[in-house]
Amino acid sequence: MDDQLSLFDEIPDKNEHAGSPQESNRKFCTELEEELTTIGFAECTDNQPQIQKYIKRAAYQDMYGGTRHSTFLIHHKTKGLLRIEAHRQVQSGSVDQKFPFFYESLSNAPEETVVIVFDGKGYKKEAYNWLLTQTKNHTNKTFKVFSSKEDFLSYLIG
């Protein structure tokens, strides 16, 4: 019987969100990038991407006046330039404390439309509702907030 149990120990754990929160977030951004290329976007290194292209880690000024790098800057064929902040939070943690930072910093971004994409449910519902209310009431910019990668991709395709 002990010999049989060792077989189970050899089966790798396939937890897709294993690792530190930073590793999990990097994986989410990589997954999102793979999906972008699948639906027809291509990476470029220009300061401003051409139509159907994107750049990674596009710099802009955050709420403190420092340099922040968004996950992507996408040039969509009909939606124009979209600055994207993507974040995965599988377990409860401090991501909801970052919502005001995301909101205020993206308010400073030069693009008219800014997007926040989340993955996982590790944030407080009240914090998410706060973010939705703030972004809905913002008058100088169009905010799009997605609770999943799939909803975001549907927005891009639709």
In this structure, CATH architecture of domain 40-157:
3-Layer(aba) Sandwich (3.40)
d(CA 103, CA 36): 23
Higher pLDDT among residues 32 and 7, named by residue: 32
Q: In this model, does residue 107 exceed pLDDT 50?
A: yes
Contact 28, 43 (CB under 8 A): no
3-class state of residue 58 by DSSP: strand
Residue 154 sits at the vertex; the CA angle it makes with 150 and 155, to the nearest 5 degrees, is 120
d(CA 91, CA 82): 28
Report the share of the chain in percent with pLDDT over 70.
Answer: 83
- Please tell me the predicted confidence (pLDDT) of residue 121: 76
Q: Which whole number is the average pLDDT over 43-55?
A: 94
Q: Kindly report the average pLDDT of the chain as a whole number.
A: 84
Question: Where residue 18 falls among pLDDT bands split at 50, 70, 90?
Answer: low
Q: Which whole number is the average pLDDT over 86-93?
A: 73
d(CA 14, CA 61): 38
Q: Which whole number is the average pLDDT over 9-20?
A: 46
- Tokens 């919502």 correspond to 99
- Please tell me the predicted confidence (pLDDT) of residue 96: 67
- Please tell me the predicted confidence (pLDDT) of residue 11: 36
**Encoding tokens for residue 57?**
């880690």
Radius of gyration of the chain (CA): 18
Sorted by where each begins, the domain ranges of the chain are 40-157
